[in-house]
Structures are given as structure tokens and as C-alpha cells.
Amino acid sequence: MKILIVGGTGMIGGHAALYLREKGHDVSVAARSAPGADTALHDFPVLLGDYAQGDFSGEQLSAFDGIIFAAGNDIRHIPEGRTAQDHYHEANTVQIPRFFERARDGGVKTCVYIGSFYPQAAPHVVDGDPYLMSRKASDERVRALNAPGFRVCSLNAPVMVGAYPGLAVPFFDAYFAYAMGQLDPMPIFAPPGASNFMSVRSLAEAMDGALERGEGGKAYLVGDENMTYQAYFQLFFDAVRSTVRPDVRNEEHPLLPDAAQPAGRGGIIDYEPDAAETALLGYRRNDVRRAVGELYEDFKRRHGIG
């Protein structure tokens, strides 16, 4: 299958590009800038543009059999002088469905949208949050386009762990530096609360399954392991072979601030993915620790650590 991955240079899309090429697909990536020459994506065909600016035409998209949309606008993308609510509405609620309309009109047969788990796993936190409301609306509007000859489904994913070789993800690098004692005098602790976590490898496998077997119009709540933030932080300390065990403190953590926890400090968002859906999509479970270890190996390579 000839596949385009939008957001294909990000931690999720980039790993999916590598995985799907391993599976024998002809994969291109779409992004605002080309992948770095020192990353594993350096030799992928690239379609440059910004979906939020309407840069991809139906004619361009007509070259592909399937599209995975793994992009989105969050707090990092809000332009100066514009409110978060207005930006999220335009970039996510309006422009994402418009992209899928152009894909449909260009003759693309299958599309998979990568969304957020909150609307399905914790709907009570969505109302009043402009970002989550925009993600919920974009998911619903995209799936509403499903029709004979244009199969669309979504994978709503939890907190993601992993990347691809050569990509520096700042918050993962910060977790390793923290575990190595390089962020002193930042106190060592973990915030209360828990979430579901999933590796980028597991999600890439789910994408492959969704392209092949996903039911049109359906939103799949995918995920892997329910973990406290204390257990999650511990994975990074274990990876660097630290003997430190962070305790839990009911205070804001610099690496996981309250603003990054829609359920609130101490909130718990856990669930067990539907077994039949997991089997249909064909993705692995219990993979988060391995993903952290893989991240650390790449961290060491990029920082020259033996």
C-alpha cells in the first residue's frame, strides 16, 4: 500500500513510518520541515506543507492509497496575539476535517486519524478545555466523512512513550537527565495520579491493523498499561540504573506540571482496552518499559554516553 503519514517526522508518525516500511508498504511523510539528516527518516520521501494552512491539495493526496493523520496543534503552536481557543478551533476542529475532505475528493480510499484518549476514557475532563474540545470535535467530524469508497476510523491513544532513532524529544531527555541527577537541585519525587500509557511501537502496529481491518466510522480507544506517575518515573530511573526510588508528593512537579494533567493533580485515568478490538488491530501489550529502554539507548548515542 502507498501510504502518507501526516505529522510523519514527529515521535508518533516517524516511528510509524519506519514500522510500516518494515512491513513492506511504500511510505512517505508529510511535515512542515524535512526530517533531520541524522535521524532514521533521512531517506523518506517528504511532502512539505502545513495542513493547518491548507497546503495539501486533493491532487497531491491522490497519489496515496491510505493516509495516517498523526498531526495536530497544541500549546506549542499558538501564534502570538491569538487565543488558544481560536487557534485550536481553526487548526484542529476546522482544518483537520478539511484535509480529510480533500483526501476523499482526491480518491484516497482509507484514512486513519490519531486522536486523544480523553473523550472516550475521561469525557468529564473535556468540556471547558479548548484543546481537548477541539480534538474531540475533529475526531467526530473526520469519522462523519466515512462513506462507501472512503473508509475512515480513528485510534484514540493515551500518553505515548517512544520515538525513532535520532529524534531528540525534549521531555524524554529531561526525564533521563533528572534520573541521572543532572537537574539538581530539582527535588526527586513523583506527583500523585495515574494514567494509561502506550509505546509508539504498539500504536504503529495498531495503525497497520486499522489501515487493513479498521471499521469505517469507528473510534477505537487503544492503550496498554495503567501506571501511577510514580511507577512511570521509576522506569527512567531504572533505565539509567539509578538506585533512587522517587516518592510521591502532593505538589506540582516541574517535569509534569498541573497544566499537563487535564484530570487534575492526583487524577486517575485508567482503562482496559477492549480485547476484541485489540485483537482486531493486532498490537502488542506490556511494551512501555521496553520503549523507555529504547529511548535511553538513543539518548546515550546522541549524548556520547558509553
Cell numbers representing residue 189 in the block: 519525587
Query: In 3-state terms, what secondary structure has residue 195?
Result: strand
Q: What is the pLDDT of residue 75?
A: 67
User: 225-228 and 194-199 as β-strands: parallel, antiparallel, unpaired?
Assistant: antiparallel
For residue 52, the 8-state DSSP code is G
Q: Which CATH number do you get for residue 103?
A: 3.40.50.720
Closest CA to 72 of 113, 40, 29, 14: 113
SS3 234: helix
The domain tally of the chain equals 1
Q: Give 297's DSSP letter.
A: H
Per run of 10 residues, the mean pLDDT along the chain (length 306 residues) is: 96 97 98 93 96 94 98 72 84 95 98 97 94 95 98 98 96 98 96 98 98 98 98 98 97 94 95 98 98 98 92
Strand order across the beta sheet in which 66-69 lies: 46-48, 26-31, 2-6, 66-69, 110-116, 151-157, 219-221
pLDDT at 82: 75
**C-alpha torsion angle, residues 177, 179, 184, 190 (rounded to 10):** 120
What pLDDT sits at residue 73? 62
Specify whether the CB–CB gap between 119 and 135 falls below 8 A.
yes
Report pTM.
Answer: 0.96
Structural domain including 207 reads 2-303
| Angle, CA of 180, 184 and 190, to the nearest 5° | 70
